[in-house]
Amino acid sequence: MSTRPRAWTAADLPPQTGRTIAVTGATSGIGAVTARELAAAGAHVVLAVRDTGRGEALARTLPGSTEVRRLDLADLSSVRAFAAGWQGPLDVLVNNAGVMAIPEARTVDGFEMQFGTNHLGPFALTNLLLPHITGRVVTVASNAHRRPGVDIDFDDLDSRNSYRPWRAYQQSKLANLLFTRELQRRLTAAGSPVTAHAAHPGYAATNLQSGAAGAGQRLMMAIANRVIAQSEQQGALPSLYAATQPLPGASYTGPDGRGELRGYPAPARLSPRALDDAAARRLWDVSEELTGVHFPDLAGR
């Protein structure tokens, strides 16, 4: 009689002693849980956060070795400063920080806030840090990328012609997956041992939903957080799994429950648009142009 394998939890994390892992957006939600569990497993965890005061407060509660460094993904000068200050190897970069369905706003560099924070910031950060990265890059995406009609609007990436909060969010999450796919292609072509992965938390009760545009939407999300959502501890499991388990490059991990809303880490479903290699390459080229950051020369590594 066959039985289902035991579900993977944070208790199954392998020892991380001697490894350095950077987690963006680590002051709350699944980022804070990810940082806590990796530190408890022995990693030296760098909390890459916009609010260093909150980061320091959290760091004091975490086990093991941690440090706090300022990073604002909505400001490319901050991204460049963070990367320029990095010394030594970085085993894992977890691109966790993001915003969701917020009112229309612009980054310091003038990009639509969700596209800038969720995609362009991590794109620039990853490429600037790649000469230091020895293991893998994990980028937190969303099953929202699978909603009907979601695509990359190359004619209006910046939502200047029209802005719809959820559409902009869904586009940015699709961009995360196309970025991961093209990053892995480039790493493989360069002969690099570094791998690129994506993960999504399902529907986790975090403060991410609190920034949604419209009081009605925020109220509905608050109710759903209580009734439907899984905990942020559970929501962090796909990120932890993607950061530490043997996986093929360009893997995508999410909850194994119905609709990938809840559950334990398992392979997640990608939309056909997230498998579009031509779109992935085009998005990469546009992202290089917008940020001024390019895939580094990894020869000799």
Active-site positions read 169
> Could you give phi then psi for residue 191, rounded to 5 degrees?
75, 25
Scanning 137-276, the segments in alpha helix (DSSP H) are 165-189, 215-227, 232-235, 237-244
User: DSSP secondary-structure letter at 247?
Assistant: -
Residue listed under structure tokens 């400063």: 81
Q: Contact, 47 vs 225, CB < 8 A?
A: no
| Sheet arrangement for strand 44-49 | 65-70, 44-49, 20-24, 90-95, 133-140, 195-199, 251-255, 265-267
Q: Using alpha carbons, select from 126, 140, 144 the residue that is nearest to residue 273.
A: 144
Buried b / exposed e over 111-127, threshold 16 CB at 10 Å, is bbbbbbbbbbbbbbbbb
User: How far is 220 from 214, CA to CA, in rounded Å?
Assistant: 10
**Residues 135, 116: Cα–Cα separation, whole Å:** 25
What is the residue whose two structure tokens read 């001697």?
A: 18
231 CB-near residues (< 8 Å, 6+ apart): 204, 205
Contact 165, 216 (CB under 8 A): no
Strand 251-255 vs strand 265-267: parallel, antiparallel, or unpaired? antiparallel
